[in-house]
Amino acid sequence: MQLISHASDGRPRRLAVRRDGHLRDLTEATGATDVGELLAAGITADRLREIDGPVVELADDDVPRAPIARPGKIICVGLNYHDHCREQSIDPPAYPMLFSKFANAVADPGASITRPRATEKLDLECELGVVIGRRASRIGRAEALEHVFGYTIVNDVTMRDLQKEDRQWLRAKGSDGFAPMGPAVVTADDISDPQALRLRSWVNGEAWQDSTTAEMVFDVATIVAFASQTITLEPGDVIATGTPAGVGHYQQPPRYLADGDAMRLEIEGIGILENTVRDALPRSDDHESAAGIGELDATR
Ligand code: MG
């Protein structure tokens, strides 16, 4: 099953499920307008199969929104692909390297992503997003996938300059709109092996990343179990599981995103997530001031 939160301009979101070739409304039966609300209400994939909502046809302007608009947690994994470690000439970490984003970072499919004045080194990262369906606390690896409801695509948008200058990654990766998500959540029963999915990204039609989740250093089950040892994972939480090689920063020469650039991310079996970069204006030629590292720019 594929779950889509959708809306046209000015109208409230609705949740729908694509099943047996039909898109069926779920909002009428469940009250939920996205996957996060559905899971918070305790609805499981088994229960979903029994809900027989009316068939809906989407108008042209009725488009997918982020499937989880306000995740309680967005947990991310750094350096989790062997090929991404190799392109940086570093050894893979000994255990998962977790960091976080907040709900301010969530952006809809198709939305413009603002390149802040604080950066001249904006980059993308195509990542498999894991959606938690059942509370997980101190669980083992063997049972971890039973707590996974489904999968989506997350773009771990990153400011490479601030990633280095701030000495940790909160602003570099957690800024407004830096977690475009969607276009759908595909339930776990439709993903036969989360460690055998091709992921790709393009910028303006040119291929940047082309890899597979088989390259993960720590697989989905290990990440879920690892996080759950001290963090209770709740239904609707999202884990972005890291990105493979090919990001702009490690290309030769390095490449970065700017106004008008079209990002396209695809994960096999899940879909395509597209967003366009828009520059916050005016641009500044004083990076330290624009980033707040030096004296704050009085013109902001
Ligand atoms: Mg990442």
- 296 falls in which pLDDT band (50, 70, 90)? confident
CA–centroid distance, 286 to ligand 1, in Å, is 27
CA–centroid distance, 26 to ligand 1, in Å, is 32
Residues 68-81, mean pLDDT to the nearest whole number? 98
Task: State which amino acid sits at residue 84.
Answer: H
Structural element, H or E, at residue 40? helix 35-40
- What is the residue whose two structure tokens read 């902001």? 300
Assess whether pLDDT exceeds 90 at residue 161: yes
Give yes or no for a contact between 46 and 92, defined as CB atoms under 8 angstroms apart: no
- 299 falls in which pLDDT band (50, 70, 90)? low
Q: Give percent above pLDDT 70 in the chain.
A: 99
Quote the mean pLDDT of the chain. Answer: 96
Residues 202-227, mean pLDDT to the nearest whole number? 98
| H helix and E strand count, the chain | 9, 18
CA–centroid distance, 57 to ligand 1, in Å, is 35
What does the pLDDT read at residue 298?
A: 60
CA–centroid distance, 127 to ligand 1, in Å, is 7
Residues 256-278, mean pLDDT to the nearest whole number? 98
**Is 3.40.50.1000 the CATH number for 74-283?**
no
Assess whether pLDDT exceeds 60 at residue 300: no
Q: Which tokens in the block code for residue 29? A: 């039966």
What does the pLDDT read at residue 297?
A: 64
Residues 6+ apart with CB under 8 A from 127: 76, 153, 154, 155, 156, 199, 240, 241, 242, 243
What does the pLDDT read at residue 144?
A: 98
Nearest to 125 by CA among 162, 178, 167, 183: 178
CA–centroid distance, 156 to ligand 1, in Å, is 5
Q: Give percent above pLDDT 90 in the chain.
A: 94
Q: Is the pTM of this model over 0.85?
A: yes
Q: CA 226, CA 141: separation in Å to the nearest integer?
A: 8
CA–centroid distance, 41 to ligand 1, in Å, is 29
For the stretch 100-152, pLDDT in tens is 999 999 999 999 999 999 999 999 999 999 999 999 999 999 999 999 999 99
72: Cα separation from own chain's centroid: 14
Assess whether pLDDT exceeds 80 at residue 6: yes
CA–centroid distance, 242 to ligand 1, in Å, is 4
CA–centroid distance, 203 to ligand 1, in Å, is 17
CA–centroid distance, 121 to ligand 1, in Å, is 15
